[in-house]
Amino acid sequence: MDNPTILFMGTPDFAASLLEAILKEGYTVVAVVSQPDRPVGRKQSVLPTPVKKIALDHNIVVYQPLRIRKDYDFIERLHPDLIITCAYGQILPAPLLAIPKLGCYNVHASLLPKLRGGAPIQRAIMQGDHETGVTIMEMVEKMDAGRMFLQESIRIEEIDTTGSLSIKLQELAAKMLISWLPLFLQGKSIGMAQDEQQVTYGPNIMRSEEQIDWSLPALQIHNLVRALAPTPGAYTNLFGEPFKIWETKIIHQGAKECPGTILQLEPEFLVACGEGILQLITVQPSGKRMMLARDYIRGSKALKNGDIFSHN
């Protein structure tokens, strides 16, 4: 089929770049499905999702059902030839997956069967992986478990955050999707089953995981900070108030002090960990903007060596 009708489902910037790529190639997108608009930022302004914004810019109708499992009659009416999803944010029911005659396919930001789930990029960084990638897979009712049609890997650099790695992966994903679609439509792409023995999961980050446990090794805390940047941010407590940490550096030496103890303020802000020492580079005190640690130290009169970041 040369020009199938496509229904695109996605929500964040990562998915928006794929929608843009599909449209640029001239494919017919009959509609877009995205998560409902929700308040964002300090002002809690209700803004369109990135995918919705792209769709509206191209005069494409947008649907935003609260629960796709119960509300997909509009897809039956549209009856698209093909459904492409990326980071949509809801699990699709089996009857919906059966609607398009060419099937439903998902672009997932991991090297499946590793890191199935909603936070594969964050989890890859959090667990210290050196490699990740993108997989184009057939959707089935079981989460991220369908046949794989195309997969490419990318290196995770030591300085990568979720923000920087997401940009690299979305660029890779767009190139992969555009190269794969023609082959698939010509019947030249064959899917391969996933090895269930190799399955791991990357579930969404829980609020409790955002808090730093200073008894952990410096490397593990450093990876947590990278994984939670640019949002929502890793945090600790200082003088009973939340204190976010956005950028760190590992100091490869030991410390005898209790984990969480501030060892040094100048010229470097150093904190003892369960194993090793962490240098704080970019921080955000409660009620303040993000700033360099050295600027925070200059303006702080209360903080001193020996103070302790707490875990509660």
Give kind and range of the element (H or E) at residue 152.
Answer: strand 148-155
Place of tokens 């550096």: 249
Q: Supply the pLDDT for residue 312.
A: 66
CB atoms within 10 A of CB 2: 6
CA 26 to CA 41: how far, in whole Å? 34
Q: Supply the pLDDT for residue 39.
A: 79
Give the relative orientation of helices 50-57 and 13-24 as an angle to the nearest 10 degrees. Answer: 30
Give the residue extent of every domain in the chain. 5-198, 207-299
Cis check for the bond before 267: say yes or no (omega within 30 of 0).
yes
Dihedral sign from CA coordinates of 202, 153, 189, 26: positive
DSSP state of 231: T
* Strand pairing class (45-46; 131-138): unpaired
Q: Are 62 and 55 in contact (CB under 8 A)?
A: yes
Report DSSP letters for 34-56, one per residue: -PPP-EETTTTEE---HHHHHHH
154: helix, coil or strand? Answer: strand
**Of 134, 124, 122, 93, which is closest to residue 9 (Cα–Cα)?**
93
Q: Are 135 and 112 in contact (CB under 8 A)?
A: yes
CATH classification code of 5-198: 3.40.50.170
Q: Which token pair is 98?
A: 């059966």
For residue range 24-79, list pLDDT tens digits in order: 999 999 999 999 998 776 677 888 999 999 999 999 999 999 999 999 999 999 99
The long-range contacts involving 159-162, CB below 8 angstroms and separated by at least 24 positions, are 160/125, 160/226, 161/125, 161/226, 161/227, 161/229, 161/230, 162/121, 162/122, 162/125, 162/226, 162/227, 162/228, 162/229, 162/230
Q: Supply the pLDDT for residue 3.
A: 84
For residue range 94-126, list pLDDT tens digits in order: 999 999 999 999 999 999 999 999 999 999 999
Q: Are 236 and 210 in contact (CB under 8 A)?
A: no
Give Rg (Cα) of the chain: 22
Q: Supply the pLDDT for residue 38.
A: 86
Q: Are 236 and 214 in contact (CB under 8 A)?
A: yes
According to CATH, the topology of domain 207-299 is Methionyl-tRNA Fmet Formyltransferase; Chain A, domain 2 (3.10.25)
169: helix, coil or strand? Answer: helix
Series of mean pLDDT values for 10-residue runs along the chain (312 residues): 90 96 97 91 82 97 95 95 96 95 98 97 98 98 95 96 98 98 95 97 96 96 98 94 96 87 95 96 95 93 90 68
For the whole model, what pTM was predicted? 0.94
